[in-house]
Amino acid sequence: MKWLNALIGAGLSALGVDTAGRVGGSVQFFLYDVAKIAVLLCLLIFLISYIQSYFPPERSKRILGRFRGIGANVVAALLGTVTPFCSCSSIPLFIGFTSAGLPLGVTFSFLISSPMVDLGSLLLLSSIFGWKIALAYVAVGLVIAVVGGTLIEKWQMERYVESFIKTAGAVDIEAPSLTQGERLIYARDQMLATFKKVFPYILVGVGIGAVIHNWIPEHWVEAVLGSGNPLGVVLAAIIGVPMYADIFGTIPVAEALLSKGAQLGTVLSFMMAVTTLSLPSLIMLRKAVKPKLLALFIGICTGGIIAVGYLFNIFQYLFI
């Protein structure tokens, strides 16, 4: 969509705005990224929601129930890619699956994968960073989800699930069959509802990205998140945890950081931390699991995210 950036730049120049300056450049960056992400977001949410209409909770539960061992973790992680876009939206499904008797490790693979990786993020990441980075991000996200769920299952952490979850029983009912028209209406409604929820975070994310892109000196970003700081990955993960956004809100920030000299693995660690370990989602998850299991979940995710960050920093030359 470079034509859109050029069109916005020409329009601003016609209004007397100097797009080569900091203020004008920030305005152009903001308008272009908001328009680009909004258009892509609506298209992707509609498409993913249509696909999601074929995987209601009851059907997903039946699919997961057919598999055992690590295969179940892999399927759960893959199912997570066609579910809602933020960690808080995924926790009710996690609770439903757990109360329905699915293995705890399998449900945690789903919980990790759902906010971190989805089909929409794959397409949006590819449009901004290229297919190699997008596919790599999705692949490592799925690996973290599978490994994390497998470890939780191996260590038999079921006793650390709150008792009301264990006794709740299956809460889902069989979803009715939908016609093609009903699926399209569902996809439209999901698109509008999700867009309204996500759009404020896009504005904030693009605003932060515009500031980073046009106001923060490049050597500052390189000093903190570049190759000169061996703790850049850890710092990025720590910064990302208190934030609450989905991947659509973090992409503009990541794009600006990368253009300013931050290392690829450091940027990916930041994105994963924001989407997977946001404080609101952890507070919700604490209602369902006991502190020891919550701490293990945080530890596995944080360790995986940091390891992925350093790995991608080492092999950054293969992607950029």
**pLDDT, position 173:** 43
Question: Hey, what are 283's tokens?
Answer: 């507070």
Total domains present in the chain: 1
Q: List Cβ neighbours of 270 (8 Å cut-off, separation of 6 or more).
A: 236, 237, 239, 240, 250, 253, 254, 257
Sort 60 into a burial class: Cβ within 10 Å, 0-12 / 13-18 / 19+: buried
**pLDDT, position 194:** 75
Question: Does residue 260 form part of some domain?
Answer: yes
Residue 89, number of CB atoms within 10 A of its CB: 16
Give CA–CA dist 72/106, Å, rounded: 6
The tally of CA atoms less than 13 A away on the side-chain side of residue 260 is 25
Question: Does residue 245 form part of some domain?
Answer: yes
In the chain (320 residues long), the average pLDDT of successive 10-residue segments reads 84 90 90 87 79 73 79 89 64 77 89 80 77 88 93 91 69 62 88 82 84 80 82 87 68 86 90 80 84 93 92 88
Question: Hey, what are 159's tokens?
Answer: 């006793």
- Structural domain boundaries, residue 207: 65-168+198-318
* DSSP conformation letters of 43-89: HHHHHHHHHHTT--HHHHHHHHHT--THHHHHHHHHHGGGS-SSHHH
**pLDDT, position 172:** 47
Question: Does residue 57 form part of some domain?
Answer: no
Give CA–CA dist 34/192, Å, rounded: 16
State the pTM of this model.
Answer: 0.74
Cα–Cα nearest to 187, from 51, 89, 55, 49: 49
Question: Does residue 280 form part of some domain?
Answer: yes
Q: Which residue has the tokens 């934030």?
A: 243
Question: Does residue 187 form part of some domain?
Answer: no
Supply angle C-alpha 254, 298, 108, rounded to 5: 100
Supply angle C-alpha 291, 293, 294, rounded to 5: 60
Q: Are 120 and 246 in contact (CB under 8 A)?
A: no
Give CA–CA dist 290/283, Å, rounded: 11
Question: Does residue 125 form part of some domain?
Answer: yes
